[in-house]
Amino acid sequence: MGLKNQILIDIEKCYECAECEVSCSAGLHHRKNGFKMILEEAIRKVTCRHCEDAPCVESCPVGALKKEGDNLKRAGLLCTSCGTCVIACPFGVNTVETVEFLTAPCDICEGRKPLCVKTCPKGAVLEGSFKEDDEKNIYKVREGIFVRGVHWKKQLGLQK
């Protein structure tokens, strides 16, 4: 069994786009938007404050958001895109651009070349071998998916 694909999203480069043009090759993804799901997870990893009272979770009328320890998870098939989490988030982490109804999980193009890497016009999606590195601002989102971005605690001087 060979090495599985790994991708890294450079969130600062990603923010430079007005609208994401990244394509996804997974045939089973609704509107082929598997990248949106990992982008949402990546943004939550470095910018979400994981509020103790989690107003976004409390505001969700269908229970699509759940707080699990230091992580916030969204069940894409439960989410109805009502927008209450967008309104409730005091830090603007949830946005209509990243919280989209019927997203499907990314399979990191297992067995094929990741189309998201080839189609990102800003070069914000990279393929390679990555590991968590606090000094380089690289954080593991989930198996095979990493994000590079300044963590909000570092931005506020709460963490070195």
Task: List pLDDT tens digits, range 36-86.
Answer: 777 878 878 888 888 888 899 999 999 988 888 777 888 777 887 788 888
Task: List pLDDT tens digits, range 100-117.
Answer: 555 556 777 877 788 889
Using the predicted structure, report yes or no on whether residue 1 has a pLDDT greater than 80. Answer: no
Domain locations in the chain as residue ranges: 7-150
Using the predicted structure, report yes or no on whether residue 123 has a pLDDT greater than 70. Answer: yes
**pLDDT level of residue 32 (50, 70, 90 thresholds):** low
DSSP 67-98: EETTEEEE-TTT-----HHHHH-TTS-S-TTT
- Average pLDDT over the chain reads 81
23 contact partners, CB below 8 Å, separation of at least 6: 32, 35, 115, 116, 118, 119
d(CA 96, CA 45): 17
DSSP-H helix ranges across 7-69? 11-14, 34-47, 55-59
What confidence score (pLDDT) does residue 51 get? Answer: 86
Cα-Cα-Cα-Cα dihedral of 37, 43, 49, 53, to 10°? -20
Give the residue-averaged pLDDT of 114-130. 90
Using the predicted structure, report yes or no on whether residue 28 has a pLDDT greater than 60. Answer: no
**pLDDT level of residue 160 (50, 70, 90 thresholds):** low
Using the predicted structure, report yes or no on whether residue 92 has a pLDDT greater than 90. Answer: no
What confidence score (pLDDT) does residue 61 get? Answer: 92
